[in-house]
Structures are given as structure tokens and as C-alpha cells.
């Protein structure tokens, strides 16, 4: 009997997709909705893995989805961090600057309307400035990587399990007996 | 001994912890504790956390926006009632069309807002997020229980083999 297809290649492709969606400014807004980009990466991993199966191979199992999601999430976290750093080095903190300009417009409007007192507006401006500077710090990048290494595998596993629920074989394999 | 019930309870505990963190972020902030910064930072990787789109507790926004918070809450509620509706040993998931039914309100809400036909409100975001979240466990729990049982079963059988080999060598 043939062995199951290698998961590593599929995990690299789907992890790269997760990393691209999460690391490229603008595209990463997709993750603002409950990590939708990472979920979709997990579904993609399961779809691609299912395509690799040929006749004579053992059937696709839910544990494959679990492992594939885990691997894709970890690869995705590293790729996202790498892309973020590369973009930071080449273009500077463009994403942080964009967010700052967006928030500053809002602050200006609130200040004009008199909704916020001027001392609070100044305080918010200082916080925004420090947030932009923090985004380029090594500790901030490593902190983000740490959080992504927890969050991305969780959501990629859920995405892969959802993909398994959608793309599972018509006749599911015999479940592992549990006592 | 691993049973579907134990795996379910462990997963339920993790989801409860995740939801508790969302609620704890504003409560800890109002109490002046620095742990809230970590929680906000942690959840920032999964949500935009825009103030105007968030539910506020104790004067501060939740760890995630209204849509995400209600989605997670819907997920938790559905997870809690799941054993009363379906057996934990059942491996079948509902048809794909039911998934579309669950996600449709959220997509409609987003599209109506995007096209300017109807501005989404906290109420529509909360309702659509809750509906979608409450559909998800019915697709995720059966493969998850099965997968964890398979992985643990394999690891324990490998452990048994390793033990048997060592015993042979001795």
C-alpha cells in the first residue's frame, strides 16, 4: 500500500499564503475579521492536500487536518514576520504611518467638534507617535512573532478542520476506537 | 483513558478561556492592571479593535470588536449546548448549504454596509456574528474530536512499541 502524501510541501504553500495575507499591509486587513486569512489558509491546506491523494493511498483522516493546520500556522507565522520585517526595512513603517494618519484625522475631527479636550488629543498623539516608533523595535517584532505562533496555528487548525468537514471522503475512515 | 467527552471538555475549557480573556481585557484595564495591555495586544492579531465598532464594558472596549466578540460568544454557547443536540461520537457534519445559511447574515451585513445601502450597526454586527459563531461547532467539533482521538491513539501505540522494544533489549 502506498504512503500518504507528504504534508510538508502543502504546509509550506499554505503557510506562505497565510504569511502573505498576514504580512502584506492592506491584505492583512482580512485578518481583522477573526483571523479570516489564517482560517482560509487552513482550508486551502486541506484542499491542496486532498488533491495529492491517489488511488491505493490510505484515506484522508481528520488527524491529517490537525497536523496540516498546525504546520501551516507555524510556517505562516514565520513567513508573516519575515515579510513584515522585509517591508519595514525596504519601505519603513508604512502600515503604522497609515494607521497614524487615519487616527489623526479622527482626532482632528473630535478636537474640532470639541468632543475631546485638547490635552487628551495631545496625549493620544503622543501615544500614536510612540506606537509608530515601537513598531520598528526588535522586541515588538519578536513579541508579535510569539503571539502569532500561538494564534495562527489555532486558527489554521480550525480552518483545516473546516476544510476536512467540507472535503472529507464520502465514506469516512474507521474511527480510532476510544474507550 | 481518552474519551470524546474529555476531549470535548478540554476544548470547551480552552474556548471559555479565550472568551474570558476578551471580557477580562476591559475589566483589568479599568482596575489599572498592566495585564490588560498584553490581552489587548494578544487579541490585536485577530481583530482591528476599532473603538466605534466595539462593545464597552466598565468604560473600556472588549478585547475584540462587537462582531468578533459575538462570534466567539455564539461559538461558546453552541459548544455548551452541543452535547444536548448531538452525540459526541457522531462523525457526520451538517451539509454545506447550512454553513452558507449561517454565514449569509454576516456577508449580507458586510455587503450592505460596503455598498452604502444600509449602514451596519453594533446590533447587526452582533447578531450576524453570533449566528455565524453558533453554526461553527457543528462543523468543527466532530472532526476535532476524531482527530485528537486519532493522534493520541497513535502516540500511545508508538509509546507502547517503544516500551516493548526497550523491554526486548533488556
Q: Can you tell me the mean pLDDT for B32-40? A: 91
At residue B134, the pLDDT reads: 96
> Does residue A86 share a domain with residue A64?
yes
Task: Give the predicted TM-score (pTM) of the model.
Answer: 0.82
Q: Do B150 and A176 touch (CB under 8 A)?
A: yes
Same domain, A85 and A29: yes
SS3 B104: helix
Residue A147 lies in a domain: yes
Q: If you search the block for the grid coordinates 494564534, which residue do you land on?
A: A151
Say what the pLDDT of residue A84 is. 87
Query: In this complex, how many residue pairs, one in chain A and one in chain B, have their CB atoms less than 8 Å apart?
Result: 86
CB spacing of A165 vs B140 below 8 angstroms: yes
- How does residue B74 score in pLDDT terms, banded at 50, 70 and 90? very high
Whole-number average pLDDT of chain A: 83
Contact B71, B130 (CB under 8 A): yes
* Residue B29: Cβ-neighbour burial (10 angstroms; 0-12, 13-18, 19+): buried
Residue A121 has pLDDT above 60, yes or no: yes
CA dist., res. B103 & res. B106, Å (int):
6
Residue A145 and residue A59 in one domain: yes
Neighbour count for residue A99 (Cβ, 10 Å): 17
3-state secondary structure of B163: helix
pLDDT of residue B46: 86
Helix (H) or strand (E) run with residue B56 in it = strand B56-57
What's the pLDDT at A115?
A: 65
Q: What is the interface pTM, i.e. ipTM, of the complex?
A: 0.86
Residues A78 and A151 in one domain: yes
A136-158 pLDDT, tens digit per residue, is: 678 888 988 999 999 999 999 99
Residue A2 in domain: no
Q: Is B142 on the interface with A (CB under 8 A)?
A: yes
Phi, psi (deg, nearest 5) at residue B65: -70, 175
Q: Does A96 touch chain B (CB under 8 A)?
A: no
Per-residue pLDDT reduced to its tens digit, A9-63: 999 999 999 999 988 887 877 777 778 889 999 999 999 999 998 888 888 899 9
Rounded CA-CA distance A166/A60 in Å is: 12
Please state the domain count of chain A: 2
Average confidence (pLDDT) over A107-118: 70
| Res A105: pLDDT | 74
Per the listing, cell 478561556 goes with B17
Q: Minimal Cα distance from A103: which residue of B?
A: B50
Sole residue written with cell 522585509: A86
Report pLDDT digits (tens) over B115-168. 888 888 999 999 999 999 999 999 999 999 999 999 988 888 876 656 566 666
Distance from B105 to chain A by nearest Cα, in Å?
Answer: 15
How far apart are the C-alpha atoms of A39 and A48, rounded to whole Å? 14
Does A120 lie at the interface with B, CB-CB under 8 angstroms? no
A172/B149 Cβ within 8 A? no
Q: Say if A112 falls within a structural domain.
A: yes
A70 lies in the same domain as A102: no
Does residue A177 belong to any structural domain of this protein? no
Inside any domain, residue A34: yes
Kindly state whether residues A34 and A17 are assigned to the same domain. yes
Q: Which of B147, B153, B157, B158 should one mutate to test binding to chain A, selecting the residue with the greatest count of A CBs within 10 A? A: B147
Tell whether A72 and A151 lie within a shared domain: yes
Q: Between A33 and B4, whose confidence is greater?
A: B4
Q: Which of A65, A67, A179 sits opposite B143 (nearest CB)?
A: A65
CA B167 vs CA B155, B156, B170: distances in Å: 18, 16, 5
Same domain for A55 and A142, yes or no, is yes
Residue B15 has pLDDT above 90, yes or no: yes
CA A112 to chain centre: 38
pLDDT score of A55: 85
Parent domain of A128: 93-135
Q: Does A169 touch chain B (CB under 8 A)?
A: no
What pLDDT shows up at residue B31?
Answer: 92
B46 CB within 8 Å of a chain A CB: yes
pLDDT at A173 over 60: no
Q: What is the mean pLDDT of residues B69-96?
A: 94
Tell me, yes or no, whether A40 and A73 share the same domain.
yes
Q: Do A65 and A120 fall within a single domain?
A: no
Phi, psi of A33 (to 5 degrees): -100, 85
Q: A78 and A88 share a domain?
A: yes
- Of residues B100 and A173, more confidence is placed in B100
Rounded CA Rg of chain A: 21
Asked whether residue A84 is assigned to any structural domain, the reply reads yes
Measure Cα distances from B112 to B65, B66, B116, B120 in Å.
19, 17, 6, 7
Question: Does position B45 have pLDDT exceeding 90, yes or no?
Answer: no
Quick one: A42 and A109 in the same domain? no
In percent, the amount of chain A with pLDDT more than 90 equals: 40
Q: How confident is the model at residue B85 (pLDDT cuts 50, 70, 90)?
A: very high
Q: Please say if the pLDDT value at position A165 is more than 70.
A: yes
Residue A175 located in a structural domain: no
* Pairwise pLDDT comparison (A119 vs B140), residue with the higher score: B140
How does DSSP assign A99-137, residue by residue?
Answer: HHHHHHHHHHHHHHHTSS-HHHHHHHHHHHHHHHHHTT-
Residues of A in contact with B3 (CB under 8 A): 178-179
Per-residue pLDDT at B49:
86
Q: What is the pLDDT of residue B53?
A: 86
Cα A14 to chain centroid, rounded = 11
State whether residue A2 sits within 8 Å of chain B by CB: no
Amino acid at each position: 500500500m502506498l504512503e500518504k502524501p507528504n504534508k510538508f510541501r502543502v504546509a509550506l504553500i499554505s503557510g506562505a499564503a497565510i504569511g502573505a495575507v498576514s504580512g502584506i499591509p492592506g491584505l492583512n486587513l482580512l485578518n481583522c475579521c477573526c483571523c479570516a486569512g489564517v482560517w482560509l489558509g487552513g482550508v486551502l491546506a486541506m484542499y491542496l492536500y486532498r488533491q495529492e491523494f491517489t488511488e491505493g493511498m490510505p484515506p484522508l483522516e481528520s488527524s491529517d487536518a490537525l497536523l496540516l493546520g498546525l504546520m501551516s500556522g507555524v510556517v505562516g507565522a514565520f513567513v508573516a514576520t519575515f515579510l513584515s520585517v522585509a517591508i519595514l526595512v525596504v519601505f519603513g513603517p508604512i502600515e503604522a504611518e497609515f494607521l497614524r494618519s487615519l487616527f489623526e484625522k479622527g482626532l482632528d475631527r473630535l478636537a474640532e467638534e470639541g468632543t475631546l479636550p485638547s490635552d487628551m488629543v495631545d496625549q493620544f498623539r503622543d501615544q500614536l507617535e510612540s506606537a509608530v516608533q515601537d513598531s520598528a523595535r526588535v522586541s515588538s517584532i519578536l513579541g508579535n512573532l510569539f503571539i502569532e505562533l500561538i494564534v495562527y496555528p489555532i486558527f489554521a487548525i480550525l480552518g483545516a478542520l473546516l476544510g476536512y468537514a467540507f472535503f472529507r471522503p464520502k465514506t469516512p475512515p474507521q474511527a480510532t476506537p476510544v474507550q | 483513558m481518552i474519551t470524546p467527552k474529555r476531549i470535548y471538555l478540554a476544548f470547551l475549557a480552552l474556548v471559555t478561556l479565550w472568551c474570558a480573556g476578551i471580557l477580562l481585557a476591559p475589566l483589568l484595564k479599568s482596575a489599572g492592571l498592566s495585564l490588560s495591555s498584553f490581552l489587548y495586544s494578544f487579541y490585536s492579531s485577530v481583530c482591528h479593535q476599532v473603538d466605534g465598532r466595539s462593545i464597552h464594558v466598565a468604560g473600556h472596549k472588549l478585547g475584540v470588536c462587537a462582531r468578533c466578540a459575538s462570534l466567539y460568544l455564539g461559538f461558546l454557547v453552541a459548544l455548551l449546548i452541543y452535547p444536548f443536540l448531538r452525540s459526541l461520537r457522531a462523525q457526520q457534519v451538517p451539509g454545506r448549504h447550512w454553513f452558507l445559511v449561517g454565514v449569509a447574515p454576516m456577508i449580507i451585513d458586510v455587503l450592505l454596509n460596503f455598498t452604502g445601502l444600509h449602514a451596519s450597526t453594533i446590533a447587526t454586527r452582533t447578531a450576524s456574528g453570533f449566528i455565524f459563531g453558533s453554526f461553527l461547532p457543528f462543523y468543527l467539533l466532530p472532526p476535532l474530536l476524531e482527530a485528537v482521538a486519532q493522534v493520541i491513539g497513535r502516540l500511545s501505540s508508538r509509546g507502547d512499541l517503544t516500551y516493548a522494544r526497550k523491554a526486548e533489549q533488556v
